[in-house]
Amino acid sequence: MSKGKLSERTSKFLQEQLEPIKANGLYAYFRPIQSKQDTEVMIDGKRVLMFGSNSYLGLTTDPRIIKAAQDALAKYGTGCAGSRFLNGTLDIHVELEEKLADYVGKEAAVLFSIGFSI
């Protein structure tokens, strides 16, 4: 397929399919949220239920979580500045591991604060 034909097909799709969806307020992508990420959010000035969030328990707006995060930011800054493997282990990591191991009845636990581990 030539570049010109692809461009024509894309333009046709946008006009015939996508634009009517957007015009009817049914396009769900890249809609800015105008409030805190919670179980309900404001989108286009309307309060709507948030089914696409990982905060389905509403923990991102729980005052206790916010206070704990503020305290951690004040003490540790915005990050570890390195992976745990080299220089990013904080005392709160060790404390969490100890509490987690105790909770599940194990001798020890290890957690990684990054998405990649060796």
- If one counts the domains in the chain, the total is 2
- Residues near 118 by beta carbon (within 8 Å), at least 6 away in sequence: 85
2 is a domain residue: yes
111 is a domain residue: no
Parent domain of 5: 1-30
pLDDT digits (tens, 9 = 90+) for 45-96: 999 998 887 777 888 889 999 999 999 999 999 888 777 778 888 899 899 9
What's the whole-model pTM score? 0.57
CA distances from 75 to 79, 80, 92, 115 (A): 11, 11, 11, 23
Q: How many percent of the chain have pLDDT more than 70?
A: 92
92 is a domain residue: yes
79 is a domain residue: yes
Dist. CA 25–CA 20, nearest whole Å: 9
pLDDT of 20 > 80? The answer is yes
- Higher pLDDT: 24 or 97? It is 97
Note the pLDDT of residue 105: 97
Task: Look up residue 53 and give its two tokens.
Answer: 């969030």
